Amino acid sequence: MSQNPEQPYVQPTYGTPYGAMSAPPQEDPGKTLGIIGLVMCFVVSLAGLIISIIAKKKSEEAGFMDNTPAKIGVILGWIFTILGFLGLVGYVIFIVVLVGSSSTDL
Protein backbone atom coordinates (compact mmCIF):
# COMPACT_ATOMS: atom_id res chain seq x y z
CA MET A 1 0.00 0.00 0.00
CA SER A 2 1.58 3.27 -1.07
CA GLN A 3 1.05 6.36 0.99
CA ASN A 4 1.21 9.98 0.02
CA PRO A 5 4.39 11.31 1.68
CA GLU A 6 2.72 14.66 2.36
CA GLN A 7 -0.12 13.17 4.43
CA PRO A 8 0.70 10.95 7.41
CA TYR A 9 -1.27 7.75 7.81
CA VAL A 10 -4.02 7.99 10.41
CA GLN A 11 -5.36 4.78 11.87
CA PRO A 12 -9.19 4.73 11.62
CA THR A 13 -10.82 4.54 15.03
CA TYR A 14 -13.05 1.63 15.94
CA GLY A 15 -16.61 2.13 14.79
CA THR A 16 -15.87 4.56 11.97
CA PRO A 17 -16.69 3.63 8.39
CA TYR A 18 -13.89 2.02 6.41
CA GLY A 19 -11.47 4.64 5.16
CA ALA A 20 -12.83 7.45 7.32
CA MET A 21 -10.11 9.17 9.28
CA SER A 22 -10.82 11.02 12.48
CA ALA A 23 -8.71 13.83 13.84
CA PRO A 24 -7.85 13.87 17.52
CA PRO A 25 -10.25 16.01 19.56
CA GLN A 26 -9.18 19.62 20.01
CA GLU A 27 -8.81 21.22 23.40
CA ASP A 28 -10.86 24.31 24.19
CA PRO A 29 -8.35 27.20 24.35
CA GLY A 30 -10.53 29.23 26.74
CA LYS A 31 -11.38 26.48 29.22
CA THR A 32 -8.52 27.07 31.67
CA LEU A 33 -8.89 30.84 31.38
CA GLY A 34 -12.63 30.44 32.05
CA ILE A 35 -11.94 28.56 35.27
CA ILE A 36 -9.44 31.23 36.35
CA GLY A 37 -11.99 33.94 35.56
CA LEU A 38 -14.67 32.14 37.57
CA VAL A 39 -12.40 31.89 40.62
CA MET A 40 -11.31 35.52 40.23
CA CYS A 41 -14.97 36.63 40.36
CA PHE A 42 -14.99 35.75 44.05
CA VAL A 43 -11.74 37.62 44.77
CA VAL A 44 -11.79 40.67 42.47
CA SER A 45 -15.11 40.74 40.63
CA LEU A 46 -14.17 43.18 37.88
CA ALA A 47 -10.97 41.30 37.01
CA GLY A 48 -12.88 37.99 37.02
CA LEU A 49 -15.50 39.49 34.72
CA ILE A 50 -12.87 40.68 32.23
CA ILE A 51 -10.98 37.36 32.27
CA SER A 52 -14.24 35.40 31.82
CA ILE A 53 -15.27 37.56 28.86
CA ILE A 54 -11.86 36.99 27.22
CA ALA A 55 -12.12 33.22 27.83
CA LYS A 56 -15.63 33.09 26.37
CA LYS A 57 -14.50 35.00 23.29
CA LYS A 58 -11.46 32.72 22.77
CA SER A 59 -13.66 29.62 23.02
CA GLU A 60 -16.18 30.97 20.52
CA GLU A 61 -13.42 31.93 18.06
CA ALA A 62 -12.11 28.36 18.23
CA GLY A 63 -15.60 26.95 17.59
CA PHE A 64 -16.41 25.83 21.14
CA MET A 65 -19.75 27.27 22.15
CA ASP A 66 -20.09 25.53 25.53
CA ASN A 67 -17.54 27.07 27.90
CA THR A 68 -19.62 26.79 31.07
CA PRO A 69 -17.03 28.17 33.54
CA ALA A 70 -16.63 31.30 31.41
CA LYS A 71 -20.41 31.77 31.12
CA ILE A 72 -20.86 31.43 34.88
CA GLY A 73 -17.87 33.74 35.43
CA VAL A 74 -19.45 36.42 33.24
CA ILE A 75 -22.78 36.17 35.08
CA LEU A 76 -21.23 36.18 38.56
CA GLY A 77 -18.76 38.88 37.54
CA TRP A 78 -21.60 41.21 36.54
CA ILE A 79 -23.60 40.43 39.68
CA PHE A 80 -20.64 40.93 42.05
CA THR A 81 -19.47 44.07 40.24
CA ILE A 82 -22.93 45.65 40.47
CA LEU A 83 -23.28 44.65 44.13
CA GLY A 84 -19.83 46.05 44.88
CA PHE A 85 -20.70 49.32 43.16
CA LEU A 86 -23.99 49.58 45.08
CA GLY A 87 -22.14 48.83 48.32
CA LEU A 88 -19.60 51.56 47.55
CA VAL A 89 -22.38 54.07 46.82
CA GLY A 90 -24.15 53.10 50.06
CA TYR A 91 -20.91 53.48 52.02
CA VAL A 92 -20.28 56.96 50.56
CA ILE A 93 -23.86 58.02 51.36
CA PHE A 94 -23.47 56.70 54.91
CA ILE A 95 -20.22 58.64 55.41
CA VAL A 96 -21.77 61.84 53.99
CA VAL A 97 -24.80 61.52 56.27
CA LEU A 98 -22.57 60.74 59.27
CA VAL A 99 -20.31 63.74 58.64
CA GLY A 100 -23.30 66.01 57.93
CA SER A 101 -25.11 65.04 61.13
CA SER A 102 -22.04 65.47 63.36
CA SER A 103 -21.32 68.98 62.06
CA THR A 104 -24.88 70.19 62.81
CA ASP A 105 -24.69 68.97 66.42
CA LEU A 106 -21.93 71.42 67.29
Is the pLDDT at 85 greater than 60? The verdict is yes
State the pTM of this model: 0.66
Question: In which band, very low, low, confident or very high, does the pLDDT at 89 lie, cut at 50, 70 and 90?
Answer: very high
Helix, strand, coil in percent for the chain, rounding step 5: 65, 0, 35
DSSP 8-state code for residue 16: S
What are 17-65's pLDDT values in tens digits?
555 555 555 788 888 999 999 999 999 999 999 999 999 999 988 888 8
Give the distance from CA 78 to its chain's centroid: 12
